[in-house]
Amino acid sequence: MELHFENLKAIRLLGRGATGTVFLVADCSSPSTPPFALKVVEKHNPFAKPDSELRARWEISVCSRLLADRHPFLPYLIGNLENPDLLAWAIPFCPAGDLNSLRHSLHPDRFFSTSAIRFYLAQLISALSHLHSLGIVYRDLKPENILIQSTGQILLTDFDLSRRISISPRTLPLPSSPISHEDRHRRRRHYLNFTRIFFGTQHSSVPAATPSEMQLKKAKSAKVSPVSRQRASFASGLERSHSFVGTEEYVSPEVVRGDGHEFAVDWWALGILAYEMAYGRTPFRGRSRKETFRNVLTMEPEFVGKQRPEFRDLITRLLEKEPERRLGYFGGAEEVKAHPFFNGLKWEMLADAPPAVGGRRFLRRRRRLKRER
């Protein structure tokens, strides 16, 4: 659809991000077109990040690609427009907010039921599978980027940190034997030694955060900027990216180490998300960025309460420190789908499935609260 600034009417502000500002907008020249989300980037904003325009153009190209190759859990480009001062593009509007706001609004304990986790993870796996099939690694999975459509289905948004890569097909089988106690101990000792060098401090002298310090409420996520690494090229297709990007609590060990990364970082982030949905917090969050990264490299996820064994195993296998041992590394999305946690799930029916915890209930509650005010 062709858009023109003079025909657009801003209804309200939806949010501000690292790249630009998002508005709910109506096109006055097309009354039958429902309102949509319009992302706007100021080209000459002195307070914006230097690569904001580059990242915006990359996101537009991804959304344009998704328009030609539609998926029920991914947005598509409705239209875009540009003048000397602004760059803007339109995507579908999701009235039920994001997964993080849904969790806080519907659940006083700030965690989802196992059935709801299974429902949302399955849709995310489907969305990531589609992106990976296009050669795109997402690299910024977190609740704030998972919007809820009015039907209760998810919509994975914000592709400014994504990257197109190309890798050779993997033919090696996934190791079937569990990691031995000796091997696990050796790897942990290696990570401890690594962090002493990397962070310049003794791991054993760092006190653990107390439960009161580990707030359940998620703080606003901060983007991790590239640090002394090869600058990402959005156009070229390399086997691995060496950019240091993502959200601190979701960054994978290979990104922290600077080893280079590819699609496996998305499966790591899926494990972090699954844990946060179940416990209301991420597993490796520290009191500072350095402590968080140290925990990513050295800690194992801690499980409390009565969680299903299959769910614990799914998280454990997604949060393998070495990407070659991580669930999904060799077999991609199909390997993750085959995990026992998803046994009996009809993947082909996901787009039509009723939401386990969904946007319709959220919208009804929000309308009721507005009337009461």
Name all domains of the chain by residue range, CATH numbers in brackets: 5-92 (3.30.200.20), 125-352 (1.10.510.10)
What percent of the chain has pLDDT above 70?
72
Q: Indicate the pLDDT class of residue 122, thresholds 50, 70 and 90.
A: very high
pLDDT at 339 over 50: yes
pLDDT value for 215: 32
pLDDT value for 211: 35
pLDDT at 63 over 90: yes
Model confidence, pTM: 0.78
Q: What is the pLDDT of residues 197-221, one digit of tens each?
A: 333 433 333 333 333 333 323 334 3
- Mean pLDDT computed over 351-363: 60
**CA angle, 333 then 229 then 157, to 5°:** 40
- Mean pLDDT computed over 174-186: 47
Residue 160 a catalytic site member:
no
* 48 vs 370, residue with greater confidence: 48
Q: Which residues contact 337 (CB under 8 A, 6 or more apart)?
A: 122, 125, 345, 347
Q: What is the pLDDT of residues 12-23, one digit of tens each?
A: 999 987 778 999
- Mean pLDDT computed over 118-126: 96
User: Helices 264-279 and 114-133, interaxial angle, to 10°?
Assistant: 160
Written as six digits, the tokens of 53 are: 């325009």
pLDDT at 191 over 60: no
Distance (Å, rounded) from C-alpha 368 to C-alpha 295? 42
Q: What is the pLDDT of residues 86-110, one digit of tens each?
A: 999 999 999 988 998 888 776 566 7
| Among 31, 38, 32, 43, residue whose Cα is nearest residue 5 | 38
Question: To the nearest whole number, what is the mean pLDDT of the chain?
Answer: 79
Percent helix, strand and coil across the chain, each to the nearest 5: 40, 15, 45
**CA angle, 359 then 73 then 87, to 5°:** 100
pLDDT value for 179: 45
Written as six digits, the tokens of 179 are: 């990691």
pLDDT at 251 over 80: yes
* 236 vs 301, residue with greater confidence: 301
pLDDT value for 247: 82
pLDDT value for 2: 79
Q: Indicate the pLDDT class of residue 187, thresholds 50, 70 and 90.
A: very low
pLDDT at 78 over 70: yes
User: Which of 27, 69, 109, 140 is labelled catalytic?
Assistant: 140
For the residues of 254-311, what is the DSSP string, one character each?
Answer: HHHHT--B-THHHHHHHHHHHHHHHHSS-TT--SSHHHHHHHHHH------S---HHH
pLDDT at 35 over 80: yes
pLDDT value for 79: 95
Phi, psi of 68 (to 5 degrees): -80, -20
Q: Which stretch of 172-186, 222-236, 265-279 has the lowest confidence by average pLDDT? A: 222-236
pLDDT value for 294: 95
pLDDT at 50 over 50: yes
| H or E stretch at 155 | strand 154-156
* 9 vs 198, residue with greater confidence: 9
Q: What is the pLDDT of residues 302-333, one digit of tens each?
A: 998 888 999 999 999 999 999 999 999 999 99
pLDDT value for 206: 30
Q: What is the pLDDT of residues 263-298, one digit of tens each?
A: 999 999 999 999 999 999 999 999 999 999 999 999
- Sheet architecture: strand order including 21-27: 8-16, 21-27, 36-42, 86-92, 79-82
pLDDT value for 40: 95
Q: Which stretch of 108-122, 228-242, 260-274, 348-362 has the lowest confidence by average pLDDT? A: 228-242
pLDDT at 47 over 90: no
